[in-house]
Amino acid sequence: MSRLSGKIAVVVGGQGGIGGAIAERFAAEGAAVYATSRRAEEGDVGHGAGTLRTRRVDASDVAALAAFFEAVRREAGRVDVLAVSAGIAEFATLDAIGEDHFDRTFGLNVRALLFATKAATAIMPDGGSVVLVGSIAGGIGTKGYGVYGATKAAVRSFARTWANELAPRNIRVNVVAPGPTDTAMMAAASDEVRQTLKTLIPLGRMGRVDDVAAAALFLASEEASFITGAELPVDGGMAQV
């Protein structure tokens, strides 16, 4: 039996990259998935045992997020599973950080995540699941990515608090924390940078988006029914050993 059969799932930032892989995996496991993106081509298609519905939504626009979740409520009646993957990572050392860089990064990685989770859990029945996409960057000090790392530390903190607040409703909140992963953003890195990263990963390779999607599926499913407030690293051991 598919692990998300009959579930209504929303993936914010669910087109391309890690978010797209999560949306596709959820649909393959039987969920009716609503996947948002700023550049999405809207449409509904069958996907595996479930369906994948793409919707154009700017996650950094709180009003647009609220309107989207209201549309999901009218159409589907609820949200059983939420995954939030929308985010950006831009290089800037302390001396170069400006207000625009800070506001843009925190606006999408933290503010949008907060209000998406608020809207989703307002229409989530007891026993639902929230999976937030964090990063091992939230626990290490990567030169030039201080603001990004701080946003991911905030995601980890939110998960702990919300897991506590939502426990009476048996809604679980967890974080999946990727390490360096082969995405379009990482593809822009030089071969030298990629090779350096590989030397820091005990398993000797970059992560794949499917690795992260599998972890997100586990946390979203009943297989993780006694796990909440946790962070699951998917980093080949990079920040673990």
CATH code for position 121: 3.40.50.720
In a domain, 47, yes or no: yes
User: What residues are annotated to the active site?
Assistant: 148
CA distance 100 to 118: 25
In a domain, 239, yes or no: no
In a domain, 1, yes or no: no
Q: Cβ(55)–Cβ(36) under 8 Å?
A: yes
3-class state of residue 13 by DSSP: coil
In a domain, 36, yes or no: yes
In a domain, 3, yes or no: no
**Residue 50: exposed, middle, or buried by beta-carbon count in 10 A (0-12, 13-18, 19+)?**
buried
pLDDT of residue 220: 98
- What pTM was computed for the model? 0.95
CA distance 103 to 235: 28
pLDDT of residue 75: 97
Could you report the average pLDDT of every consecutive run of 10 residues in the chain (241 residues)? 92 95 97 92 77 95 97 98 95 96 97 98 98 96 94 98 98 97 78 84 95 98 98 97 92
CA distance 80 to 226: 17
In a domain, 109, yes or no: yes
Domain total of the chain: 1
Look up the domain containing 227 and give its range.
8-234
pLDDT of residue 1: 58
CA distance 128 to 81: 6
pLDDT of residue 232: 98
In a domain, 202, yes or no: yes
pLDDT of residue 188: 66
